Amino acid sequence: GAVVSQHPSWVICKSGTSVKIECRSLDFQATTMFWYRQFPKQSLMLMATSNEGSKATYEQGVEKDKFLINHASLTLSTLTVTSAHPEDSSFYICSAFGPRGDEQFFGPGTRLTVL
């Protein structure tokens, strides 16, 4: 149990376009999900906390107008990278608190490459 999926697993897009990444909790409901960014050979940096039915809470330095987060249901959160640029290329990972609420379960990640 407590499986988190992401779609797509990788995406290549042109500079200036927008890309949507989906994060789903497959067998449980998740009122809170997290979005992380991971640069090559570096650690995960928390971007924002996504709360079902309310606005996301962004970490300092993360542009909320560039990284739009929508948590419209208890099993789905989406991250949209708007007007993507090459510096947005990264590995984006989501996570969700499991059914007991005391452990985060991570998705497999989405690799974004902006040309």
Partner 1 sequence: GNSVTQMEGPVTLSEEAFLTINCTYTATGYPSLFWYVQYPGEGLQLLLKATKADDKGSNKGFEATYRKETTSFHLEKGSVQVSDSAVYFCALSDRSNAGNMLTFGGGTRLMVKP
35, 58, 92, 97: which one binds partner 1 (CB under 8 A): 97
What b/e sequence results for 74-91 when a residue is b if at least 16 CB atoms lie within 10 Å of its CB, and e otherwise?
A: ebbbbbebeebeeebbbb
**Shorter beta-carbon distance to partner 1: residue 27 or 103:** 103
Q: x/- contact string, 52-91, with partner 1 (CB under 8 A)?
A: ----------------------------------------
47 contributes a contact to partner 1 by CB under 8 A? no
Between vectors from CA 81 to CA 51 and to CA 110, what angle results, nearest 5°?
80
Smallest separation, CB 107 to partner 1 (Å):
5
Give the whole-angstrom CA distance, residue 102 versus residue 28.
Answer: 14
Do the beta carbons of residue 1 and residue 99 sit within 8 Å?
yes
Binding stretches for partner 1 (CB under 8 A): 4, 6, 32, 34, 41-44, 46, 49, 93, 95, 97, 102-104, 106-109
